[in-house]
Amino acid sequence: MPPQSSLVAIYPGSFDPITNGHLDLIARGAKLAGRLIVAVLGNRSKQPLFSVEERMELISSVAKFPNVEVASFDGLLADFAHARGASMILRGIRAVSDYELEWQMALMNRRLRPEIETVFLTAGEEYSFISSKLVKEVASLGGNVAGIVPALVEARLKERYETTRRT
C-alpha cells in the first residue's frame, strides 16, 4: 500500500530505548502516512536511561525511511500533533492489557482535538512481549537483548550499564 502523501501521522513514545517492536511499527506506519513523525516524549517526571537527544539520535540512526522524521515534545500530545499538522496519532498495542490505557488516552486526545484520529496497530507476534522497560531490566543485569533491539541500541545499552556498574 503506498503512503497517503498528504497524511501526516505522529507516532509518540518515550523510546527509552527504541526496540525492534518500535521499528516494526515505524515501518508499517511509514507505509500508511505520507509523513510519519516519531515524537520522543521529554517527560521530566520519569528518569530515562537515555536523554531525549540520545533517543532521537538512536531513532534517526536505525529508522531510515524517506518519509520519517524524528522530533521531541513536552506537554500535550494533541497540541503537538495539531502544531505539526497531523491528522493521525499512531499507537501500538502489544496485548489486551495495553488497550485500556491507550483507549483512555485516545479518547482524551479526541476530546482535546476532535479532528485528529488515533489509529491502533497491533504488534507483530514476534514483538508482542517486548517493552523498553523489560529491555532495560534485562540489559542492566547483563542479559542478552540481541534480536529485540537494533545492534546499535544493544551496544549503547551495554556501554551505559557497564559505565553504571563501574561507578
Q: Examine the residue annotation and report whether 110 is marked as an active-site residue of this protein.
A: no
For residue 51, give the DSSP letter. Answer: -
Q: Examine the residue annotation and report whether 160 is marked as an active-site residue of this protein.
A: no
Considering 14, 22, 35, 91, which one is annotated as catalytic? Answer: 22
Report the DSSP beta bridge partners of residue 122.
93
Considering 6, 31, 46, 133, which one is annotated as catalytic? Answer: 46
How many structural domains are present in the chain? 1
Q: Examine the residue annotation and report whether 82 is marked as an active-site residue of this protein.
A: no
* Rounded Cα gap, residues 72 and 54, in angstroms: 11
Question: Are 66 and 34 in contact, with CB atoms under 8 Å apart?
Answer: no
Question: Are 51 and 42 in contact, with CB atoms under 8 Å apart?
Answer: no
Q: Examine the residue annotation and report whether 132 is marked as an active-site residue of this protein.
A: yes
Instruction: Indicate whether 54 belongs to any domain.
Output: yes
pLDDT of residue 4: 60
Domain of 64 in residue numbering reads as 4-127
pLDDT of residue 165: 62
Question: Cis before residue 17, ω within 30 degrees of 0?
Answer: yes
CATH number at residue 90: 3.40.50.620
Query: Mean pLDDT of successive 10-residue segments in the chain (167 residues)?
Result: 78 96 96 97 84 97 96 96 98 87 95 97 90 95 96 96 72
pLDDT of residue 95: 82
Predicted TM-score (pTM) of this structure: 0.92
